[in-house]
Amino acid sequence: MEYILYCDESTQKSSLYSDFFGGCIISGKDYPHVTSELNTKKTELHLYGEVKWSKVTENYLSKYIELMALFFSFIKTGKIKMRIMFRDNADEPAETGNIKADAKYLNLYYQFIANAFGLKHLTGDKPISLRIYIDRLPINSKNRIEFKKRLINMPGTDNFSNSSIIVRRDDVTEVHSHDHVLLQCLDIVLGAMFFHLNDLHLIIPDGMEDRGKRTVAKGRLYNHIIEHINDLFPNFTINENTGGRSES
């Protein structure tokens, strides 16, 4: 058995909430069908380039809404599992002040990958292979190499002592989101969460009396995404901890 995990991160520091990380995981047997369907939908919608949150505009809103509907249909059927992690700025421990930014960032990223998907609980009669695809890391090459080594060695840690997960040396890869439709869809959801939690949907440009058209379009796309999440988690609150829930 094989699982494929896509991971991305958003801006590390913002006004209210920071350190955003997102991921989606899919089984190897579902991967060809799901990615084919999503890429076909992109073609039908004439979205030939990379789709991402920063590209959301009024003209493309309906296309992004339709693509997100398909993406979430796979989440609702359990073919894709998605997780988002972020930190309330008010909750930052005082002792992190002297930790270098890259080290803090990578520690959080590692904890997200190791714990957000229940990987340490995956068991089987045979090894379960995990491929990890990470959007390009905004760090220097030394830290990049060390982070990949840490992920490769993850199954050998005490927390994974009962897990059947293995990560081969060549299975931790930095990729360009342009080439991976799942990473593009993840970017949209992650961007939407960052956008709303940091009140960017309320911004009115200087000299204007109302929000800009792009801001309004992003707000509408966020609302559609929340509707899909509410189908899975009724009465979902964007900043609540869902770690204790048993649903997908």
CATH of the domain at 53: 3.30.420.10
Residue 128, in any domain of the structure:
yes
Residue 72, in any domain of the structure:
yes
Among the residue ranges 7-16, 69-78, 151-160, the one predicted with the least confidence is: 7-16
Cα–Cα distances (Å) from 119 to 65, 128, 232, in that order, read 31, 10, 21
Q: Where are the alpha helices (H) located in 17-130, listed in sequence order?
A: 31-44, 61-76, 101-115
pLDDT at 246: 46
Cα–Cα distances (Å) from 84 to 100, 187, 212, in that order, read 23, 11, 27
pLDDT at 241: 66
State the pLDDT confidence band at 93, using cuts at 50, 70 and 90: low
Torsion of CA 234, 181, 174, 242, to 10 degrees: 0
User: Which H helix or E strand runs over 185?
Assistant: helix 181-197
pLDDT single digits (tens) 206-224: 777 788 899 999 999 999 9
Burial 36-62 (b: 16+ CB within 10 A, else e): ebbeebbeebebeebbbbebbeeebbe
What value does the mean pLDDT of the chain take? 91
Rg, the chain, Cα only: 18
What number of residues does the chain have? 248
More confident residue, 71 or 104: 71
3-state class (DSSP) for residue 81: strand
- What residues have CB less than 8 Å from 49, skipping those under 6 apart? 178
Number of domains the chain is built from: 1
Global confidence as pTM = 0.91
pLDDT at 138: 84
Range of the domain at 8: 2-232
Residue 244, in any domain of the structure:
no
pLDDT at 89: 87
- Tell me the average pLDDT across 118-146: 93
Written as one string, the DSSP assignment of 58-73 is: TTTHHHHHHHHHHHHH
Residue 89, in any domain of the structure:
yes
pLDDT at 98: 47
More confident residue, 101 or 229: 229
Residue 241, in any domain of the structure:
no
Residue 194, in any domain of the structure:
yes
pLDDT at 94: 52
Rounded CA separation 134/172 (Å): 8
- Tell me the average pLDDT across 84-88: 92
pLDDT single digits (tens) 172-202: 999 999 999 999 999 999 999 999 999 999 8
> Is 80 exceeded by the pLDDT of residue 147?
yes
Residue 81, in any domain of the structure:
yes
Q: Tell me if 175 sits within 8 A of 184, measured CB to CB.
A: no
Residue 238, in any domain of the structure:
no
